[in-house]
Amino acid sequence: MKVAFTFPGQGSQAVGMGKELADAFPEAKAVFQEVDDALDQKLSDVMWNGPEAELTLTANAQPALMAVSLAAIRVLQARGVDLAEKVSFVAGHSLGEYSALAAAGSLNIGTAARLLRIRGNAMQSAVPVGQGAMAALLGLDFETACEIDKEAAQGEVCEVANDNAPGQVVVSGHLAAIQRAVEIAKARGARRAVMLPVSAPFHCSLMAPAADAMASALSNADIKAPVVPLVANVLAQPISDPGEIRRRLVEQVTGTVRWRESVTWLAENGVDTFFEIGSGKVLTGMVKRIAKDAKGIAVNSAQDIDAVLETFGAGAVAAQ
């Protein structure tokens, strides 16, 4: 068995996430307190009690999702799961890269939370509300989506933001260009082409102001070499050098999340078990579409923790 830990991105948030872990495990509760302290905000209260609209705000959703992922990681570590021994690679979808790096010891949790708060605010403010948009093109491959982008742009920005899985590509850019892309995709035989309910056009060149903000924030951040390599979104290749990690996290703000290629690379390099650590199971579903022979397991409850321990032969340990 060769294992990768993957970490979800925005869209996987839900009111109540992480509450079961906090109630069951003191290590998890301590992580949520650590994030609250780092942000000087009772973010855990928003996570567990809502309102949903407040949790969904980009500046809240990003550190909140990281907190759930790291709560699960701390519980696993306390029960003998050493990433350096048990895990070959980490990878995260968009903001999930920060969770992956924190899990692998490259960032401490407080630093990751503060960086994600800056990132969320910067991405939200990079484009005035109503000027940008994103859309999912389902049933078309990456190459076709790129052709549609070029046709739809007409002098505006229209770019592939997420290459998530075979037949699942997300485009991002100016509102009118994305609307044109949806219509062109339908004409090109897309199974579905739908506008997404997002607050900004993430992962396209319109995010350049946010990339500048992250370059400044990351230049001052303490980043160590991770104990296992990170398969970077913008490369679909593993990296470990702190300087390169900084550069790729900046590039990631405007660049394509190459998730399909990342999972393909991991599978081709022997990974047969993907644990999705954190809220939801979006990445687990993608793994099943990308690497059909691999096993995908979502880990976000006490029962899931026991399943991981059993997989590693550590034996289930009852929650305290």
Alpha carbons 103 and 91: distance in angstroms, whole number = 10
CB 156 within 8 Å of CB 167: no
Q: Which residues are catalytic?
A: 94, 203
Whole-angstrom CA distances from 293 to 15, 84, 272, 274, 296 are: 33, 24, 7, 11, 10
